[in-house]
Amino acid sequence: MRIDLCTLFPEMCETVMGESIIGRARESGFLEVHTHHVRDYAVRKGGYIDDTLYGGGKGMLMQAEPFYRCWEAIGQQAGGRPHTIYMTPKGKLLTQQRAVELSNMEHLCILCGHYEGIDQRLIDEIVDEELSIGDYVLTGGELPALVLADCVARLCPGVLADESCWQEESHGEDGLLEAPHYTKPAQWRGHTVPEVLLSGHHANIQQWRREQGLLYTAKNRPDLLEQAALTPADRLFLAQSQTKGEAGP
Ligand SMILES: C[S@@+](CC[C@H](N)C(=O)[O-])C[C@H]1O[C@@H](n2cnc3c(N)ncnc32)[C@H](O)[C@@H]1O
């Protein structure tokens, strides 16, 4: 997969995308990431890329043309039109399901806004989808773009050592949160590891993890249970736990 980031802060993006698992995946050639400084495509003297709002209002807006030129250059370089995403608090909420779909695309171009955002005409002209990372407002689109790039990139073949890592996680196909995990030592400051995890009994461990995932979801994100793929046994377990006071917010 190829990901292009259009930003006023390419160094910030390069630093994040050069670290850890994503950095290694880039080095190994499983992932191609390019960052572009929108200011390099400025049309005004002095590299200015923002201006005041028509109709009045506080703040500045990023102009359409520098982004358009940057996006056009990316398309020419890559030899095709990328799927283009604008990060904005007005976008649809990013979900794991959408990230999985995006990870099947060959080329993503992510636009990072700043100030009051970007001229709407640019969005109407080149943007395929608007995504938000949550119901709050940040100063710029770099962190949201990096969140998206990271979460999509780790789903691409070869990026994680084992794909089952993400298939069995929170927000996976069943829509539940993951069970708690423990590592050595078995005793830590008076806390023990649940007995079943030391038993070596695979089926019992699987069942315990399923039940713990259900309890975690019921406690922290009961809203997810409405859409989750629950079996009759899951429903019975949750109903019994609720009676015992274990499940629920
Ligand atoms: C200060 S925000 C602009 C907010 C905009 N005036 C509004 O009210 O919707 C500047 C930039 O940060 C990014 N941004 C801020 N919060 C975001 C969020 N929750 N999700 C995605 N992008 C966000 C966007 O790229 C946006 O253009």
Domains of the chain (ranges; CATH) run 2-153 (3.40.1280.10), 171-244 (1.10.1270.20)
pLDDT confidence of residue 165: 73
> pLDDT-derived band of residue 166, with 50, 70 and 90 as boundaries?
confident
- CA dihedral of residues 195, 201, 203, 206 (deg, nearest 10): 40
pTM for this predicted structure: 0.95
What DSSP string describes 138-163?
-SBSHHHHHHHHHHHHTTSTTTSS-T
Taking alpha carbons only, the member of 206, 154, 200, 209 closest to residue 180 is: 209
For atom 18 of ligand 1, the residue with the nearest CA is 89
Ligand 1 pocket, residue 50 CB under 6 Å = no
Ligand 1 midpoint to CA 247 (Å): 36
Distance in Å, CA 88 to ligand 1 centroid? 4
Q: For residue 10, give both structure tokens.
A: 């390419």
- Gap from CA of 100 to ligand 1 centroid (Å): 23
Whether pLDDT at 140 is above 70 = yes
Phi, psi torsion values for 95, nearest 5 degrees: -125, 165
Percent of the chain with pLDDT over 70: 99
Distance CA 21, CA 105 (A): 20
